[in-house]
Structure formats: structure tokens, C-alpha cells
């Protein structure tokens, strides 16, 4: 007379941040007695119910899996549900440019302003950015957030003379990171030039006078 009880498990377990899967999970439904289990995504009505025949793949995005079982005598379990959040795709990096410096062109200003715009993530959303100033065009920032997702600009600290690159990575709320985006080189030159003088002949007269046009 008792309805069956269905339990679920996933492989892997949640492997992202904030309850998100970064890997498409395989969902396994298990009954405690013989019968049939039914499941469907995102709806409890209509013709979407299908007999469970093996692991179900979690779907990219935010979804709810509904399920219930009917045992051999016909006892029917109350519909259960489990929400899933799946984001297996890296976010898109923003565009980065400088409002204070032109690439390659030397500047006496040793702090550089950077504008940031256009980062996107269609599933879990953008969480923020890790940034690094480096003289290496291939530098990869670490995985610590330096800027929140609503940041539209940043300014370097005081930089030494030389060529500098701005490097940025983007993180989404599931924990996916991009590789990196670079801007530069920005050339800092704060040292005044030194001019030296030479003549084609040493002084050849008395008292510091040239007797020959030098």
C-alpha cells in the first residue's frame, strides 16, 4: 500500500561555485522497490514525462528536474523535483583600452587608465576580473578577483620606465575562467634626455678660442 520512494544522485557532485555544475552532471534516479520511474525537465504537465531508463544528462543553464515512481501494484509517488544549475562555458572577456595612453607612443605619465566594457556570460553571469600589469605580453593573471563584475575602469599603480602590458581574466559565477586578454604595450618614459656636445677638432687656439671653424 505504500508509494515507492525515489532518490537521486549526480556524477560528478557539484564542481563549481555557488551551487553550479561546471561539468554536465549525469543524474541517476533510484527506486526503493520494483516499478517505473518517470522524469522530465522544467514542467509537471503535458506530454513530457518519459520512463527513466538510465542516467540523465544535466542541461546547460538553470533547470528543474521533476520525477516520480509508480510501483508494481500501482502506488504512485508524489512528484519530486530538484533544481540544477549548469554552466560549462567560459565567459567572454571584455574589451579593454586606455583613455590616458596610446600604445607604443612614449608617455611621461607613469599611471595608466584602463576602460573595461562588454564582458558577458549567458548562464551564471560574470563574477569579476583578475588583472595584472606586466612587462610580459603573455602574462596570465592569477585566480583571485581584483575587480567586481560592474567595474568599468581601473588605474595602474606607479609604473617604472619601460613597456607595460595590461592583462585581464574574467570569471563567471560558476567558477569558469577565461584564458586572458591583453592591452599594450604602453611605453613609460619619465627621464629627461641628456644632450652631449662634441667638436670635429679640439680647441686649437689660446684661451679657449678655435682658430679653425669647428
Instruction: Band the pLDDT of 183: cuts 50, 70, 90.
Output: very high
Whole-number pLDDT of residue 113: 98
Q: Are 68 and 31 in contact (CB under 8 A)?
A: no
As a whole number, mean pLDDT of residues 140-163 equals 97
Tens of pLDDT, residues 7-65: 999 999 999 999 999 999 999 999 999 999 999 999 887 778 999 999 999 989 999 99
Going from the C-alpha of 51 to that of each of 6, 36, 72, 189, the distances in angstroms are 13, 7, 14, 71
Tens of pLDDT, residues 61-107: 999 999 999 999 999 999 999 999 999 999 999 999 999 999 999 99
DSSP state letter for 138? T
Whole-number pLDDT of residue 80: 96
Q: Which residues of 36-70 are buried (b: 16+ CB within 10 A; e: fewer)?
A: ebbbbeeeeeeeebeebeeebebebeeeebbbbbb
As a whole number, mean pLDDT of residues 156-162 equals 97
What is the percent of the chain where pLDDT is above 90?
A: 87
As a whole number, mean pLDDT of residues 116-124 equals 96
Whole-number pLDDT of residue 105: 97
Amino acid at each position: 500500500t505504500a508509494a515507492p520512494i525515489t532518490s537521486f544522485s549526480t556524477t560528478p557532485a557539484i564542481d563549481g561555485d555557488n551551487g553550479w555544475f561546471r561539468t554536465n552532471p549525469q543524474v541517476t534516479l533510484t527506486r526503493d522497490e520494483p516499478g517505473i520511474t518517470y522524469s522530465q525537465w522544467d514542467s509537471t504537465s503535458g506530454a513530457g514525462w518519459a520512463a527513466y531508463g538510465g542516467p540523465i544528462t544535466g542541461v546547460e543553464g538553470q533547470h528543474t528536474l521533476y520525477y516520480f515512481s509508480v510501483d508494481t501494484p500501482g502506488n504512485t509517488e508524489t512528484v519530486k523535483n530538484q533544481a540544477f544549475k549548469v554552466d560549462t562555458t567560459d565567459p567572454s572577456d571584455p574589451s579593454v583600452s586606455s583613455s590616458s595612453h596610446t600604445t607604443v607612443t612614449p608617455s611621461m605619465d607613469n599611471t595608466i587608465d584602463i576602460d573595461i566594457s562588454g564582458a558577458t556570460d549567458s548562464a551564471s553571469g560574470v563574477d569579476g576580473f583578475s588583472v595584472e600589469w606586466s612587462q610580459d605580453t603573455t602574462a596570465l593573471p592569477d585566480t583571485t578577483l581584483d575587480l567586481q563584475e560592474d567595474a568599468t575602469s581601473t588605474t595602474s599603480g606607479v609604473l617604472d620606465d619601460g613597456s607595460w602590458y595590461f592583462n585581464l581574466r574574467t570569471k563567471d559565477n560558476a567558477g569558469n575562467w577565461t584564458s586572458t586578454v591583453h592591452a599594450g604595450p604602453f611605453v613609460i618614459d619619465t627621464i629627461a634626455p641628456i644632450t652631449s656636445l662634441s667638436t670635429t677638432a679640439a680647441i686649437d687656439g689660446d684661451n679657449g678660442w678655435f682658430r679653425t671653424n669647428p
